Structure 1
Amino acid sequence: MRPDYDPLDDPPWAMQLVVRAEKADPPAHGAVCEAAATAVVRLLTDPRATEPDGEWRQAVHEWESRRIRKVTRRARGVRWPEAQALPGVTVEHAGAQVRAFPPGPVADVPPQLAKLQVAGLDLADAEDPPAPPAPPYAALALNPDVTMTTGKAAAQSGHAAQLLLRQGRRKDVAAWVEAGAPVHLVRDVAWARCVKEADVAVRDGGFTEVPPGTMTAIAWIVR
Structure 2
Amino acid sequence: MTSPFDAPASAPASVPASDPAPEDRDARPQYVLPLVVRLERATPPGRTDALETSARAVLTLLADPRVTEAEGEWAERVAAWEDARIRKVVRRARGGEWRRAGELPGITVTGREAEVRVFPPVPLDGWPKELAKLQVSGTDLEENGPLDAPEPGVPVLWLNPDLEMSAGKTMAQTGHAAQLAWWRLGEAHRKEWAAGGFPLAVRTATPETWADLVTSGLPLVQDAGFTEIAPGSCTVVADHPALRG
Match of 1:43 among 41, 44, 61: 61
Give the residue type in structure 2 aligned to 1:109. Answer: W
1:51-130 mapped onto 2 (5 Å cutoff): 51-130=69-148
Q: How far has the Cα of 1:196 moved from its partner? A: 5.4
Once residues 232 and 139 of structure 2 are traced to their aligned partners in structure 1, the CA distance between those partners, rounded to angstroms, is 23
- 1:119-146 deviation line (CA, Å, top 9, x unaligned): 22111123312553574x3211111111
2:229 is paired with a residue whose SS is coil
Partner in structure 2 of residue 172 of structure 1: 189
Once residues 201 and 67 of structure 2 are traced to their aligned partners in structure 1, the CA distance between those partners, rounded to angstroms, is 24
Match of 1:161 among 178, 181, 196: 178
Q: CA RMSD in A?
A: 2.1
**Would you say 1:139 and 2:160 are equivalent positions?**
no
Partner in structure 1 of residue 211 of structure 2: 192
1:186 is paired with a residue whose SS is strand
**Would you say 1:32 and 2:43 are equivalent positions?**
no
Once residues 193 and 126 of structure 1 are traced to their aligned partners in structure 2, the CA distance between those partners, rounded to angstroms, is 29
Match of 2:230 among 206, 211, 218: 211
Once residues 240 and 91 of structure 2 are traced to their aligned partners in structure 1, the CA distance between those partners, rounded to angstroms, is 27
- TM-score w.r.t. length of structure 1: 0.90
- TM-score w.r.t. length of structure 2: 0.82
Query: Where do 5+ consecutive residues of structure 1 fail to align?
Result: none
Closer, same or farther in 2 for the Cα pair 1:219/1:78, shift >3 Å? Answer: same
Contact 1:38-1:91 within 8 A present in 2 as well: yes
Once residues 58 and 193 of structure 2 are traced to their aligned partners in structure 1, the CA distance between those partners, rounded to angstroms, is 14
Contact 1:89-1:100 within 8 A present in 2 as well: yes
Contact 1:200-1:218 within 8 A present in 2 as well: yes
Once residues 134 and 178 of structure 1 are traced to their aligned partners in structure 2, the CA distance between those partners, rounded to angstroms, is 18
Give the residue type in structure 1 aligned to 2:150. Answer: P
Give the residue type in structure 2 aligned to 1:191. Answer: W
Question: How many aligned positions are there?
Answer: 219
2:91 is paired with a residue whose SS is strand
Q: How far has the Cα of 1:101 moved from its partner? A: 0.7
Partner in structure 2 of residue 22 of structure 1: 40
Q: How far has the Cα of 1:183 moved from its partner? A: 1.7
Contact 1:19-1:73 within 8 A present in 2 as well: yes
Contact 1:204-1:215 within 8 A present in 2 as well: yes
The 10-residue stretch of structure 1 (8-17 or 201-210) with the greater mean CA deviation from structure 2: 8-17
Partner in structure 2 of residue 148 of structure 1: 165
Identity across the alignment (%): 44
Contact 2:219-2:239 within 8 A present in 1 as well: yes
Closer, same or farther in 2 for the Cα pair 1:134/1:94, shift >3 Å? Answer: farther
Contact 2:161-2:204 within 8 A present in 1 as well: no
Closer, same or farther in 2 for the Cα pair 1:51/1:204, shift >3 Å? Answer: same
- 1:17-53 deviation line (CA, Å, top 9, x unaligned): 0000111010111111100000000001100011111
Closer, same or farther in 2 for the Cα pair 1:197/1:34, shift >3 Å? Answer: farther
Q: How far has the Cα of 1:8 moved from its partner? A: 2.2
